Amino acid sequence: MSVIQAWVAPAAGQKLTKQEVDLGPLGSDEVEVQVEHCGLCHSDLSMLNNDWGIAQYPAVLGHEAIGRVVEVGTAAKGLKVGQRVGIGWTAGSCMHCRPCKSGDQHLCAQAQPTIAGHRGGFASRVRAHWAWAVPIPDALPAADAGPLLCGGITVFNPIMMYAKPMSRVGIVGIGGLGHMGVKFAAAYGCEVTAFTSSERKFDEAREFGAHRVVATRDPDAVRKLAGSLDLLIVTTNVALDWEAMLGTLAPNGRMHVVGAVLEPIPVTVFPLIMKQGCISASPTGSPVAIEDMLEFAARHQVLPTTEHFPMSKINDAFGRLHEGKARYRIVLDADF
């Protein structure tokens, strides 16, 4: 089917309207998925407002889509009609560059974002290269699995890369990303310290698995953690007391940034040198990393805390996200 129903953003900052969209012929290496649910990520809001300067309008947003395969291209492999899959931030990559051949397809210079120059999941159907349509384990509730495909893999990846089950891990920001970071790190066996600017989230952070909760606006509380953390994952997109944050790192500690902080991060190098510390960052993850994350989530029943809206209420859902009221991820249920 080339003509689908979709919720379209006509221009930056404008409300979405339901329209018919022609996807054209299915590519030989693509699969087409009938959307059942699609998470609403803060990145969708950033793209709606063109905060990063990469949006293309009219835009069909939505990059945490869950649904069943309804058509398979002639060169697509490993998937069959009726199979439930998920499509996250990336809908395709070149598959022949060095990162792709090395298993780092998410670092491909030609990677195709699902919502920039491509039609996303706020639609009746969405397409992706077969390798980027990741099977959803039966043990995961499909209705709530969508946010794992972007926010989930974004926080899971650095935990798998840089933490051990006995690591002392800090998660800065208990929002759409951070609350999943706390859940994953706790399930992995880490000692988890949650940092939040909102004291009303203290109890919830503990329910998510945090062993300790610290107010980021309390400099004394932050400084008491000096030298205690092996890994500090920053999930917020706002400026912090970076000196204090880096001060929490233990020898060989790492501050890893996954929040899209738009301002430069000032760094005093000498303290970092003396503790052999480092600063790093990452985007989402490869298809195999996403599969691993989904299997881990299914095994440990790690799921995002979600609110559901029918997709026909998509503008209301965007408004709730914009006002910072989402607790903690919004999922849109297809009702075309």
Residues 309-322: pLDDT tens digits? 999 999 999 999 99
Mean pLDDT (the chain, rounded): 97
pLDDT for position 202: 97
Amino acid identity, residue 179? Answer: H
Whether this model's pTM surpasses 0.95: yes
Give yes or no for residue 1 having a pLDDT over 80: no
The per-residue b/e assignment along 17-41, b for 16 or more CB within 10 angstroms, e otherwise, is ebeebebeebbebbbbbbbbbbbbb
152 pLDDT above the threshold of 90: yes
Quick check: 126 and 87 in contact, CB under 8 A?
Answer: yes
Return all residues near 84 (Cβ < 8 A) that are at least 6 apart: 36, 66, 67, 68, 69, 135, 136, 142
pLDDT at residue 185, rounded to an integer: 98
Q: How confident is the model at residue 149 (pLDDT cuts 50, 70, 90)?
A: very high
Residue 178: exposure state from Cβ atoms within 10 A (0-12, 13-18, ≥19): buried
In contact, 223 and 247? CB cutoff 8 Å: yes
Range 208-233 average pLDDT: 96
Span 231-240, mean pLDDT? 95
Question: What DSSP designation does 105 have?
Answer: G
C-alpha 65/C-alpha 42 separation (Å) is: 15
Cα(61)–Cα(219) distance, rounded to whole angstroms? 39
* Model pLDDT, residue 133: 98
CA distances (Å), origin 184, targets 120, 128, 205, 253? 27, 27, 12, 19
